[in-house]
Amino acid sequence: MDSTHDPSPSPRPGYNVLVASSEAHPLIKTGGLADVASSLPVALRDLGHDARLIIPAYPGALKQVRELKRLCDLRLPGVALPVRVLSGLLPERDLPVYLVDAPEHFCREGNPYTDVSGRDWGDNPERFLLFCRAICAIALGQSALNWRPDVLHCNDWQTGLAPAFLHEHESRPAIVFTIHNLAYQGLFDRATYDRLQLPASLWSVAGLEFHQRMSFIKGGIVFADRVNTVSPTYAEEVKTPRFGCGLDGLLRQLGGRFRGILNGIDYRVWNPAKDPSLLQNYSVDTIPLKVENKLELQRSFDLPRNEQVLVLGHVGRLVEQKGVDLIVDILPRLIAETDVQLVMQGAGDRELERVLTEAAARNPDRVSVNVGYDEDRAHLIEAGSDIFLMPSRFEPCGLNQMYSLRYGTVPIVHNTGGLADTIIDADDHTLGNGTATGFLFNDPNADGLWYALQKALHISRERPEQWRGMMVAGMRQDLSWEASARQYELFYAEALEARQSHATAVSA
Ligand code: ADP
Ligand code: GLC
């Protein structure tokens, strides 16, 4: 047969990929990592890979995982009791998940990292050391699993020790480490290092040591075959002292082994045409229906119901990173000089929670704040607002601005990280050719945000056709996981190749 006329494409490599994360939606979530950890493996499976997830068996995970069964007991170095591994499927998705069941470490109220009062769990180093040990055991293959990953994909500091432990192991998989946020590094003192009885050989600047402290995240950065972060712009930013959190030099040294791969969003969860949290579903062909969600949002947040008034929305963790204080700073001008309403939802910094609650109490017809975490209301804010504010000081990727685009809610964002990579700024040129999707401002201060907001209000009022064009362009933007998953596929291939050369070099 003439092979040049063979129409069948070459078979996909079909990697086995173990994705390790400390949170995954809908089992447990504090931020975007959870969304990524459950949607990337599904997108990889859609491309023909056998991707599976491993996370700690928190109470919420034990409750929600389907077809849960006991898989094996692991004897882990430094851990007295055997650790049980359970397996099952993620709710509403055909994604196999392994749960690391160490009740003393993971069965507690609160979130994965803090107690109910917001304080870090004192034994976080022990908890995530145990998780990393379990990841390693699964990554090296267990007879009960009958499955072995070609690639281990670790995410953020909680999984950072796994690459360090596996690095020199002969039969290890290729390792990819993703930095979702460099500001969280898992830093602990030398006494903790000694208490954990980690190998002395790893205590060096070429290992886990970071300014006389131990760094979980360095384990991932130093020992993985490939390292990435979640947007191309953030990947450049973290190589500078301003954004590098002390690790910019190390990241620069990685050269071509380090890059940015933009996240996608999960269209199964974030789709205004099918979203069960909305009063009224709509799509790019039925944009006028969106206003019903605005009226519902106003009702649900006790604001006067008025479809003419523009509603600004914000959802996010209340932390320094997100620049919520800039929104607080423009509030007096917003109240005095405009008639817009502001709806905010978030939890975190107690002082910001207090300031926002007081602002809402002072301006009950204009500002409404929900201090707390509420998925349904987050969806309603995305759908019911006209404008989404995201003045983050830095933003590795950011998912909320992408949800806003998808929901026809025009984002106003600081020109940084993934925000810069996903929003096309409105200027005469982009408004003219219909490519503008939002507003970017350069200076992360109240004036920067205020001027961008004024520009947005002006265009929405004076040029409604162009405003509608922005909504349409945003809703039509391809934000799906497929393109990102394809980039990870290539990244895994590179990691496998690098792992192969490493193995050859070691055995030579
Ligand atoms: P980060 O991971 O830094 O928190 P992202 O924009 O990547 O930022 O993702 C945040 C995710 O967490 C989004 O899915 C957002 O809707 C969700 N989220 C954050 N705070 C809340 C909240 N208070 N209520 C509901 N969802 C929230
Ligand atoms: C982090 C970042 C956020 C990113 C998310 C998922 O929490 O702060 O920008 O979108 O991880 O990658």
428 with 490, same domain: the answer is no
490 with 473, same domain: the answer is no
Q: Which atom of ligand 1 is nearest to the CA of 35?
A: 14
Q: Which atom of ligand 2 is nearest to the CA of 395?
A: 9
Cα 373 to ligand 1 centre (Å): 9
Residue 460 lies in a domain: yes
| DSSP track, 434-469 | T---BEEESS-SHHHHHHHHHHHHHHHHH-HHHHHH
456 with 493, same domain: the answer is no
Domain at 379, CATH number: 3.40.50.2000
Taking residues 362-371, report their average pLDDT: 98
The residues with which 154 forms a beta bridge, in sequence order, are: 20, 177
Does the beta carbon of 156 sit less than 6 angstroms from any atom of ligand 2?
no
Q: Give the tens place of pLDDT for each residue, 29-67.
A: 999 999 999 999 999 999 999 999 999 999 999 999 999
Q: Give the tens place of pLDDT for each residue, 79-109.
A: 888 999 999 999 988 899 999 999 999 999 8
400 with 465, same domain: the answer is yes
> Do 336 and 305 contact (CB within 8 A), yes or no?
no
**DSSP single-letter state for residue 230:** S
Residue 125 lies in a domain: yes
Residue 7 lies in a domain: no
Does the beta carbon of 265 sit less than 6 angstroms from any atom of ligand 2?
no
Does the beta carbon of 38 sit less than 6 angstroms from any atom of ligand 1?
no
Protein residue with its CA nearest to atom 20 in ligand 1:
316
CB-based burial of residue 183 (10 Å sphere; 0-12 exposed, 13-18 middle, 19+ buried)? middle
In the chain, how many domains are there? 2
Residue 269 lies in a domain: no
Q: Give the tens place of pLDDT for each residue, 167-191.
A: 999 999 999 999 999 999 999 999 9
Q: What is the pTM of this model?
A: 0.95
Does the beta carbon of 425 sit less than 6 angstroms from any atom of ligand 1?
no
89 with 172, same domain: the answer is yes
> Do 98 and 65 contact (CB within 8 A), yes or no?
no
Cα 335 to ligand 1 centre (Å): 26
Cα 197 to ligand 1 centre (Å): 36
259 with 364, same domain: the answer is no
Protein residue with its CA nearest to atom 22 in ligand 1:
373
Does the beta carbon of 399 sit less than 6 angstroms from any atom of ligand 2?
yes
The answer, yes or no, to whether residue 2 has pLDDT greater than 60, is no
Residue 175 lies in a domain: yes
Whole-angstrom Cα Rg for the chain: 24
Residue with tokens 């990929």: 17
Domain, as residue range, for 330: 287-478
218 with 238, same domain: the answer is yes
Total Cβ atoms within 10 A of residue 111: 18
Q: What is the number of residues in the chain? A: 508
CA-CA distance, 499 to 168, in Å (whole number)?
A: 11
Ligand 1 pocket check: which of 155, 376, 400, 405 to mutate, most ligand atoms within 8 Å of Cβ? 400
Query: Cα 125 vs. chain centroid, distance in angstroms?
Result: 22
Q: Which ligand is nearest to the CA of 184?
A: 2
Protein residue with its CA nearest to atom 11 in ligand 2:
180
> Do 223 and 499 contact (CB within 8 A), yes or no?
no
